[in-house]
Structure 1
Amino acid sequence: MNAILSGSIYFALTCFSVAMLFALLRLLRGPSAQDRVLALDTLYINGMLTILMLGMGIGSAVYFDIALLIALFGFVASTAMAKFLLRGEVIEP
């Protein structure tokens, strides 16, 4: 791997880590439940992208499968949270 790609991966990892820190602060201090749900969505997306960058840096394909699972579970969780906030229940009787 050349030096430019390696440097850009480390820069992206740093940016995603800072974004995860800000999303965590919004998750803890959000004024409303909707802000917290959006912060949780941002947190899992940045986590997924961080794992993708690690996979590119190490050169292993296992990280891409892990990122795909995180994306799948994050989408299901955010959909369930949005439904709960709108209707007050996740599973309708």
Structure 2
Amino acid sequence: MITTAFMVKRVFSMPLRGLQGFMNSVFKLAQLPLLYPHYSYINKRAKTAMFRVKKLLGGTLSLRNYNAQVGETYAMIKALNKLTVLGMPKTIVIA
């Protein structure tokens, strides 16, 4: 969730406080019972998470057209989600 939010922050050039409100609004519109973490908590995670994103996917958006940048960001998010799923351990119920 944090990495995806940083992609949104990057596309819309939002400050962290604005990002917190935006993500809470998205959750509310989607009728999800979630709250986005406080921006000060996110700020502590920002350096590590953004370093990983930049290292994996490059430091900047390469396309100049806004719609193309949105598509590029969606592709980055999809790649990150795929990497996250691959890195998650599989749980097995032991009865």
Pick the TM interval, shorter chain: 0.3 to 0.5
TM-score, reference length from structure 2:
0.32
User: Scaled by the length of structure 1, what TM-score is found?
Assistant: 0.33
Structure number with bigger Rg:
1
Higher helix share: 1
